[in-house]
Amino acid sequence: MWTTSLAQVKINNRLKVLLESINTTQNDNYLTKMKNLYDLCMDKDNLENLGSSLLLGVLDQLGGWPVVSGTKWKQDEFDVVDTLVNMRKYGYPHDIFASITISPHIFYQKFNVIYIGEANLALEERSYYEEDLDDPVLQEYLRFMVKSSVYLGADQALAEAEMAKVLQFAIQLALLTISRNTPHNYYNPMKIDQLQALSQEAYNWTQYFNGIFDPFSIVNNDSYIIVYVPNYIKAVSELIESTDKRVLANYLLWRVVLSSTVLLDERWALLGREFYQHIDGRKSLKPRHSFCMETVKKYFNIGSSGLYINATEDKSNLNLMSKMTEYIKESFVGMIKSSDWMDAQSMEAALNKTSLMTLHVGYPQELTDFDIINDYYQEVPTGRNTTWFEMILFLRHWKKDKDYLKITTGNEKGFWVDYSNVIDINAYYRHQENSIQFPLSIIESTGINADYPMYLNFGAVGWIIGHEISHGFDTVGRKFDEHGNYENWWSDSTTEKFEAKTRCYAEQYSQFELKKTGEKVNGNRTLAENIADNGGMKQAIVAYKKYVKDHGEEPLLPGLKYNPYQLFFIRSAHFYCGKWRTPALSHMIRTDVHSPGIFRIIGTLSNMVEFSEAFNCPSKAKMNPEKKCTLW
């Protein structure tokens, strides 16, 4: 757990109190729907009484799970696309073999288009599947599958044999995906008939799209899509074509079961935790109220944000945040002007992009309007006379409907819904909008206060602000112009110098190693975030120096031996302080585009002359190396 996690717990606990105080006897509205969902989740007696019965009913409707049905399973009635479409109708993940997203076109942002990506893997990251079969995580995953099927009535020996085949298939599928470290052209526009040519007879894309988009859109051969990795589509189609139908059905229905474990009784929750402890290191279940609160927040995020905001009286720090952001943007402008690797044309474009970067602080005003939020959830039933299992499946389907509905509409920049999550501690830069967002939650979590010395305030949040601004100019952000359009707006010479300078970060961070496991940070995967960290900290210290120039030196804190600049860096590092379980750190190394917190601190501060000067670090000390990576 790290500092931010503790702050998130405080927000969640406050939300829990607010949620439990909702009066469900009043007229039905989004608040009573939230409370009813929470109550369904907390009704453990009903969950125990239902056991696995509702899941077994769904499996039966989907044609049966072969490992459970045994010889009664009817292979001739199984069709991959039909099964995936029916999984979507029930509210289950259906992008098992190819991810489907609806997003603005990278060149024509007024239009939303269909993007097709690679498989969504059950273990998230390809590297888990690259291990030998005797790898502890894979062995525990197999045990999880076998126990789940036995819980539902499968024969033990049959379960062991058939789930071993499912694991082999899952490995084959994962190895078809492209490693995150492999450079690739992800923009491959085509029409449906071209996509179908990649799959041949293995996968009917028109049938699939019309099934999952029903009733919002009719897809035909003239429909326009963007495929991230065409070779993957061809390869996965060949895998589907060559795999026994029983194995395919067992895999798809396993994904249904896996997605259902959180909806069932405690026996299933314990079984899931028995496996996932090998991923995140946590052996015990979360308190039920915490799990239920987080689930309500997940499906009613806009409603939860509205509830939280309207109960928050002191919002005075929003103005302070805006003021500090302007200081930091100004510091970044100066850093652009003094850069030695940008030519005049690229520099002018970078300055223009910075000036047009829009700022979203706190929350959208729509979250204070009860009727707007209530209208957003109008299709959601009250949650009375139903079960936790059925309600979550409905909400999953409803959320996907909301997403897929975008295929019928244009894209609206700055749409309030896109900026409505203000209770999860995070900050954002949106490439296609050239915008930065600092929600109320992250402002509260940093503890900034107008009555505090500004070296503490800039230390607390300056790095975060600068980090998000820097994302507009990292390995991805540099490919989007001031309006968020995908465009190469840098000259070749500027690009070459940028790549040479940032190669230093990739090499530096690749040397950071977890002592307990020997795993190293992937400096290429984390490069964009490391660029943002280093650029953000530089902006923050430059901005604070400008503040001191404008307002004069600030007094020291009584009783402490540290000067303002030392406290600035101490406060900055505090945000990423934490203690993590070893499996969780290992999982982060495998899957996260961010470096672990300790390396974000060490890597960034060891590159800063201002840090070594503030603490009088000896030359060539660990935190004052002779070779420092710098971009700005």
Specify the pLDDT at position 181: 57
Specify the pLDDT at position 182: 63
CA 499 to chain centroid:
26
Specify the pLDDT at position 179: 63
Positions of the chain with pLDDT under 50: none
The residue to which tokens 């390995």 are assigned: 475
On the question of a cis peptide bond just before residue 230, with omega within 30 degrees of 0, the verdict is no
The answer to whether 35 touches 127, Cβ cutoff 8 Å, is no
CA distance 236 to 231: 9
Specify the pLDDT at position 108: 86
> Where are the alpha helices (H) located in 70-202, listed in sequence order?
80-90, 126-129, 136-151, 156-176, 192-199
Q: What is the pLDDT of residues 400-456, one digit of tens each?
A: 999 999 998 889 999 999 999 999 999 999 999 999 999 999 999 999 999 999 999
- In this structure, the strands spanning 189-191 and 224-227 are antiparallel
Q: What is the pLDDT of residues 501-518, one digit of tens each?
A: 999 999 999 999 999 889
Specify the pLDDT at position 6: 85
From its phi and psi, is residue 520 left (phi > 0), alpha (psi between -120 and 50) or beta?
beta
On the 0-12 / 13-18 / 19+ scale of CB atoms within 10 A, 162 is: buried
Specify the pLDDT at position 2: 57
3-state secondary structure 482-531: CCCCECCCCCHHHHHHHHHHHHHHHHHHCCCECCCCCCECCCCCCHHHHH
Catalogue all structural domains in the chain, each as residue range(s) with its CATH number. 52-263 (1.10.1380.10), 314-363+420-614 (3.40.390.10)
Specify the pLDDT at position 247: 98
CA distance 535 to 513: 23
